[in-house]
Amino acid sequence: MLGYGDPVADAIGLLRPRTVIGPNLRAGGEWALRFEPFPHVRIGGVVRGSCRLILDGHEPVLLREGDTFMLGNPPPYVLAGTLDAAPRPAAPVWAGAENGFVRIGAESEEDVYLCVGHIGFDDGNATLLTDLLPPLVTVHPADPHGTRLAQLIEHLAAEVTVAAAGGSLVQNHLAQILLVHMLRAHAARTDRPTGWLGALNEDGVGAALRAVHADVSHSWSLRELAEISHMSRSAFAQAFKSHVGIPPLEYLIQWRMSLARDALARDTVSISELAQATGYRSESAFSTAFRRVVGSSPAQFRSRARGRPRSAVSGN
């Protein structure tokens, strides 16, 4: 409940990521595969060769060797060798994988070699991250983080095809490291708002965010957070809302309720213990805040959660 003091680590930990990597794709000649929408994140990269990524409603993107990509709550999209190829459904092709590979066309030196996968999150808190992501993020080897991401894709692709002890664990950790580096790359770009991801790069607002995450049970005031940011209260409140999208104390409440939903869904602590851990002086005050944000009492939420799969637990 106390977190790491690192909003990215805290958020990803709370999201309980479930990763599925592979199979890898080797393709040559005229080919195109159409993928259906998927919650919540698709990741991938080009190990060798090049291909096109065509996302509904966007211009085609040329992906070259070493490029990595991340799709946030993607609509239908196509991976293709050429723009002229007629797409076919990817699912039946993926179902025919052997030894961690899908093969399209005759083998040649012009083959494209792709590693792709997806990361799903617990539905109740998934919007903590997915609401911040654009439909597509691409990182090239020459970009900041690009070389490291290209190396990660190569390692991940190799793990998919090797039936070694602990392979699934290695894939899971590599995929999460890949996700973090993609988030860092996205947050470092200043040409689009990125919510709390972008705010982490702002010294004052970022310091306040890290303080909140380091001690969520503290009774934070606007004055305290402004002092941490070395700003006046009015300047801090304006800067925080500008970067994060909501006022600082509202962010604190939202984060506390995200932690509370997770704990209630897993039935790990009593409601009174949860109230104290999230900074409320009484169970009544906690319940009032929870009902305002989530729309039900903590007891009602926990009761409903007990009857549903964990990945399906929602805050609505």
| Domain of residue 136, CATH code | 2.60.120.280
Q: CA-to-CA distance for 285 and 152, rounded, in angstroms? A: 46
* Inside any domain, residue 109: yes
pLDDT tens figures, 135-178: 899 999 999 889 999 999 999 999 998 877 888 899 999 999 99
Question: Do 69 and 20 share a structural domain?
Answer: yes
* Inside any domain, residue 192: no
* Inside any domain, residue 104: yes
Question: Do 177 and 240 share a structural domain?
Answer: no
Question: Do 229 and 267 share a structural domain?
Answer: yes
Q: Determine how β-strand 68-72 pairs with β-strand 61-64.
A: unpaired
Identify the pLDDT of residue 299.
94
Question: Do 173 and 207 share a structural domain?
Answer: no
Identify the pLDDT of residue 223.
97
* Inside any domain, residue 196: no
Identify the pLDDT of residue 5.
66
Identify the pLDDT of residue 186.
84
Question: Do 125 and 34 share a structural domain?
Answer: yes
Boundary of a domain, candidates 161, 187, 213: 187
Identify the pLDDT of residue 3.
55
Identify the pLDDT of residue 108.
81
* Inside any domain, residue 298: yes
* Inside any domain, residue 194: no
Identify the pLDDT of residue 308.
64
Q: Mean pLDDT, 10 residues at a time, over the chain (316 residues)? A: 68 88 93 91 96 92 96 92 94 92 87 94 84 88 92 93 84 91 81 66 85 93 96 94 90 93 90 94 95 94 76 39
Question: Do 251 and 181 share a structural domain?
Answer: no
Residue 2: CB atoms within 10 Å: 12
Question: Do 228 and 104 share a structural domain?
Answer: no
Asked whether 236 and 192 are in contact (CB, 8 A), the reply is: no
Question: Do 211 and 112 share a structural domain?
Answer: no
What's the domain range around 228? 202-312
Q: CA-to-CA distance for 43 and 40, rounded, in angstroms? A: 10
Please work out, in degrees rounded to the nearest 5, the angle formed at the alpha carbon of residue 88 by the alpha carbons of 83 and 92.
145
* Inside any domain, residue 1: no
Question: Do 172 and 58 share a structural domain?
Answer: yes
Identify the pLDDT of residue 216.
93
Number of domains the chain is built from: 2
Question: Do 167 and 35 share a structural domain?
Answer: yes
Identify the pLDDT of residue 58.
87
Boundary of a domain, candidates 117, 152, 187: 187
| Domain of residue 298, CATH code | 1.10.10.60
Per-position DSSP letters for the chain, written without gaps between them:
----S-HHHHHHHHH--EEEE--EEEE-SS-EEEE---SSEEEEEEEESEEEEEETTS--EEEETT-EEEEES--SEEEESSTTSPPEEHHHHHHT-BTTEEEES---TT-EEEEEEEEE--GGGTHHHHTT--SEEEE-TTSTTHHHHHHHHHHHHHHHT---TTHHHHHHHHHHHHHHHHHHHHHT--SS--HHHHHTTSHHHHHHHHHHHH-TTS---HHHHHHHHTS-HHHHHHHHHHHHSS-HHHHHHHHHHHHHHHHHHHT-S-HHHHHHHTT-SSHHHHHHHHHHHHSS-HHHHHHHHHTS-GGG----
